């Protein structure tokens, strides 16, 4: 599988290591590899989503206080 990243990004090495550490699962083919890569991407978005949620909550609180 080939992945293409534009701009700054964390290394996908942990996803590759996870896949290579499970030869039995790796034998299932591209589905397992794609799942591993997507799982890695989603896990790396969690801190971003937490930050956005905190900003939304802060905005709601400020809006409620101003009323």
Domain coordinates of the chain in residue numbers? Answer: 13-66
Tokens of 32: 């397992």
CB 15 within 8 A of CB 36: yes
36-66 pLDDT, tens digit per residue, is 889 988 888 888 899 999 999 999 988 888 7
User: What is the value of pTM for the model shown?
Assistant: 0.61
Q: How far apart are CA 1 and CA 30, in angstroms?
A: 7
Tokens of 45: 């978005």
Please check the confidence at residue 67 and state whether its pLDDT lies above 70. Answer: no
């Amino acid at each position: 599988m080939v992945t293409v990243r534009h701009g700054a990004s964390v290394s996908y090495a942990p996803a590759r290591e996870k896949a290579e550490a499970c030869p039995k699962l790796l034998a299932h083919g591209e589905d397992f590899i794609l799942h591993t890569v997507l799982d890695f991407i989603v896990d790396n978005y969690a801190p971003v989503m937490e930050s956005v949620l905190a900003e939304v909550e802060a905005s709601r609180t400020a809006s409620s206080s101003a009323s």
